[in-house]
Amino acid sequence: MSQKPISAGEAPAPEPVKDRFPTAYTILFALIAVMAALTWVLPAGQYERAANEALGKDAPVPGTYQVVEAAHQGVFDVLMAPITGFYNQSTGMANAIDVSLFVLIIGGFLGVVTATGSINTGIARVMVRMKGREKWMIPVLMLLFAAGGTTYGMAEETLAFYVLLIPLMIAVGYDALTGVAVIMVGAGVGVLGSTINPFSTAIASNAAGIPFTEGMVLRLIILALGWLICVAYVMRYAERVRKDPSKSLVAELKASNEAHFLRDQESHQEAVLSGKQKIILVLFGATFVAMVWGVATQGWWMAEMSALFLASAIVIGVVAWMGEKPFTSAFVDGARDLLGVALVIGLARGIVVIMDQGRITDTILHSFEGWITGMPAVAYVNALFVTEGLMSLLVPSTSGLAVLSMPILAPLSDFAGVPRHLAVTAFQTSIGITNLVTPTYAVVVGGLAIGRVPYQRWVRFIWPLMLMLALLSMASLSAAVLL
């Protein structure tokens, strides 16, 4: 292959910088191997479990921890963990295969809608109408996601919104990371400041033996202040990127992300929405409204949401009169785009599988129990905050960690002179912060995979905000103990 000669005095073009940071798949598989190795180092142990009528499941009994026979995890167990992770319901979590199937069906649904041209044309129209007011989309959207987080623990459901919002954010001059942040941080600060969230506040309060309404005022204060901090942080970054795209933390992926999320966008710049496309966009929006309604009021979860998006894809295909072969091709191609996300979710769940099979989950909890026992009140509530955060790196499910830790750690609060509702608040604020970054959480790894944002770039973006939220939470907890 011939190459263009370099003239005298002309510097050679710089080679593209190679990203040597491992992919999410490698990171998660390595964590599975590390946890398997720990089953050979840490003693195996378990708490006795007893039925808890309020929780509707078994919960650990304080003071019953005992060392049990080791269950060392070997190479075969490591290889089986991601497979088992797909269908094993562990530590209060839903089956990963349910979440993965939901993601694939969302991909198919979006593939069908995209094939009609409705999304690209709709984005072009929004760009025209929002010109000069783009930044105000951020607080409005983050408020909506925070409302979902604080009321019903919006988490896995957010995966449906990434492919919808990221193209819009890129089109108005921001980047893919901004789109991820609006969704993940918006819903995350809602979970951090949970008020009536049944998967966080309600379950943790039941496990602690108190009404979930205790401590509501403090949580509302944390929610309001946390939302303001998050909105200001995301808006500041987004405006910096809009004014100077080189300031983006994913600047080198700009062309690739634009090509991926704004396919054929230029051909739609001057297009006008047809009557069919307007109907399709109404059906598109109504699908998301129906999903939120179903989860919040009808007890829907992954199976029902998957059925909803499948039904909506079929209806949209009929409205667009695509034909059977174009419809199925668009659906399969859309699902294929999110296949990597589905695989990541199973890998992330494999870490918890290894810990449970190796009988070291309770051992780790018992170690934290010993660390915080006997501390003064202010030190205790902050140590509890740190403990729950570290535990959530291993058990990212809010309901799962609540069932696992609260029956043990909440009674310790009585001896430290800390009201149990503060133990619940320490739990939910801590897990709300760490679940913005933990690589074992399907919502994080899945959202980043959909948004095409490398994990290390997300960590670089989010850690200052996590520090601010941690300081807010710890200051609020300390003040509540002293007052």
The whole-number pLDDT of residue 271 equals 58
H, E, C per residue of 81-119: HHHHHHHCCCCCCCCHHHHHHHHHHHHHHHHHHHHCCHH
Angle at 295 between CA 228 and CA 439, to 5 degrees: 60
First-to-last alpha carbon distance for the chain, in angstroms, is 75
Classify residue 240: in a domain, yes or no: yes
Share the mean pLDDT of the chain.
Answer: 82
Classify residue 152: in a domain, yes or no: yes
Q: With b meaning 16 or more CB within 10 Å and e meaning fewer, what string describes 12-43?
A: eeeeeeeeeeeebeebbbebbbebbebbeebe
The whole-number pLDDT of residue 459 equals 94
The whole-number pLDDT of residue 212 equals 80
The whole-number pLDDT of residue 53 equals 64
The whole-number pLDDT of residue 276 equals 83
H, E, C per residue of 125-151: HHHHHHCCCHHHHHHHHHHHHHHHHHH
Strand partners, 59: 50
Classify residue 53: in a domain, yes or no: no
Classify residue 25: in a domain, yes or no: no
Tokens of 383: 């140590």
Amino acid at 12: P
Classify residue 184: in a domain, yes or no: yes
Classify residue 229: in a domain, yes or no: yes
The whole-number pLDDT of residue 10 equals 41
3-state secondary structure of 285: helix
Instruction: Show the low-confidence residues of the chain (pLDDT under 70).
Output: 1-21, 24, 52-57, 88-96, 119-120, 122-132, 152, 198, 263-273, 296, 341
Range of the domain at 424: 30-37+73-94+117-273+338-482
Q: With b meaning 16 or more CB within 10 Å and e meaning fewer, what string describes 249-282?
A: bbeebbeebbebbbeebeebeeeebeeebebbbe
Q: What is the pTM of this model?
A: 0.73
What's the total number of domains in the chain? 1
Tokens of 291: 């999903």
Report the C-alpha gap between 5 and 11 in whole angstroms: 11
- Are the C-beta atoms of residues 388 and 426 closer than 8 Å to each other? yes
Classify residue 345: in a domain, yes or no: yes
Classify residue 300: in a domain, yes or no: no
